[in-house]
């Protein structure tokens, strides 16, 4: 058993609440243990200048940790200055979402998903990806003038989870304490069809074998299947994938 009573292959308690705010067409509060992220998806009837006239849309993401999400307080990022970690994470979220979107079916419009961390206890980027997908699905459902109503822009589902080696054991969905202690930590993004979008694995003053890598990937796949089930329950009748 882990320090919080979970088995090695067990996710933290996960909740996804849709329509958390009334202003954004897609709005989700996702809670994974003590990590809480608000994901809001907004639609704009325009695309970046470099995409104009191509007949395709665009999906991007922004990520931010609010000052009270950590202790001690995290200073706000002001004046357009974004630190390297923030840039890396919001690019990861954007890539993960675009991997399952048919941009041509979206038409010439943009969707921005904002992921704001309200409380951080490890796994903020993976929770952001998982929640952002649900917010994106709800936002797309509000679009009335798709180029082809029979061609849905969302091709597949996507979710993300962390895995790692802690005290020599492969464990799923690391919280901050486990992430700090891990000799190897990895973030895995996968589609519902079981295809990888991204794998970010790092040894912390350690190395890992091919066998250990295989065990971590297998564990991540198990976690993604569980996350997809929660996404499915959250979307209810709006779920359209096998």
Provide φ and ψ at 228, rounded to 5°. Answer: -65, -35
Assess whether pLDDT exceeds 90 at residue 119: yes
Q: Note the pLDDT of residue 83.
A: 85
pLDDT digits 0-9 by tens, 183-237: 999 999 999 999 999 999 999 889 999 999 999 999 999 999 999 999 999 999 9
Listing DSSP states for 109-120 in one string gives -EEEEEEEEEE-
Percent of the chain past pLDDT 70, that is, above it, reads 99
Structural domain contains residue 175: yes
Structural domain contains residue 126: yes
Q: Note the pLDDT of residue 121.
A: 97
Structural domain contains residue 8: no
- Give the residue numbers spanning the domain of 72: 14-238
CATH number at residue 192: 3.30.230.70
What average pLDDT does this structure show over 11-30? 97
State how far the Cα of 162 lies from the Cα of 99, in Å rounded to an integer: 19
Q: Note the pLDDT of residue 156.
A: 97
Q: Note the pLDDT of residue 80.
A: 67
Q: Mutual orientation of helices 124-141 and 84-98 as an angle, nearest 10°?
A: 40
Q: How many residues appear in the chain?
A: 242
Provide φ and ψ at 31, rounded to 5°. Answer: -125, 120
- What is the domain count for the chain? 1
- Nearest Cα neighbor of 129 from 75, 190, 182 is 190
pLDDT digits 0-9 by tens, 59-101: 999 999 999 999 999 988 776 678 899 999 999 999 999 999 9
Strand bridging mode 58-65 / 110-119: parallel
State how far the Cα of 172 lies from the Cα of 71, in Å rounded to an integer: 24
Structural domain contains residue 1: no
Q: Note the pLDDT of residue 218.
A: 97
Structural domain contains residue 187: yes
pLDDT digits 0-9 by tens, 39-52: 999 999 999 999 99
| Cα separation values, 12 from 121, 161, 203, 210, Å | 11, 11, 23, 27
Token couple for 119: 């409380």
Q: Note the pLDDT of residue 76.
A: 86
pLDDT digits 0-9 by tens, 125-183: 999 999 999 999 999 999 999 999 999 999 999 999 999 999 999 999 999 999 999 99
Q: DSSP letter for 92, please.
A: H
Counting beta carbons within 10 angstroms of the beta carbon of residue 50, is it exposed (0 to 12), middle (13 to 18) or buried (19 or more)?
exposed
Q: Note the pLDDT of residue 77.
A: 79
State how far the Cα of 163 lies from the Cα of 2, in Å rounded to an integer: 14
């Amino acid at each position: 058993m882990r320090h919080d009573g979970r088995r090695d292959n067990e996710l933290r308690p996960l909740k996804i609440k849709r329509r958390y705010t009334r202003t954004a067409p897609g709005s989700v509060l996702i809670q994974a243990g003590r990590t809480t992220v608000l994901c809001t998806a907004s639609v704009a009837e325009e695309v970046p200048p470099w995409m104009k006239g191509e007949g395709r849309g665009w999906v991007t993401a922004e990520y931010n940790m609010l000052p009270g999400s950590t202790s001690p307080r995290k200073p706000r990022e002001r004046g357009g200055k974004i630190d390297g970690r923030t840039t890396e994470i919001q690019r990861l979220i954007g890539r993960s979402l675009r991997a399952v979107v048919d941009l041509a079916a979206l038409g010439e419009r943009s969707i921005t998903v904002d992921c704001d961390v309200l409380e951080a206890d490890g796994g903020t980027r993976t929770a952001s990806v998982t929640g952002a997908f649900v917010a994106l699905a709800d936002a797309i459902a509000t679009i009335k003038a798709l180029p082809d109503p029979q061609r849905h822009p969302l091709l597949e589902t996507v979710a993300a989870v962390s895995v790692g080696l802690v005290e020599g054991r492969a464990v799923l969905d690391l919280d901050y304490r486990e992430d700090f202690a891990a000799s190897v930590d990895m973030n895995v993004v996968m589609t519902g069809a079981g295809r990888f979008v991204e794998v970010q694995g790092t040894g912390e003053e350690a190395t890992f074998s091919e066998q250990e890598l295989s065990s971590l990937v297998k564990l991540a796949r198990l976690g993604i299947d569980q996350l997809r089930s929660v996404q499915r329950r959250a979307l209810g009748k709006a779920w359209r994938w096998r």
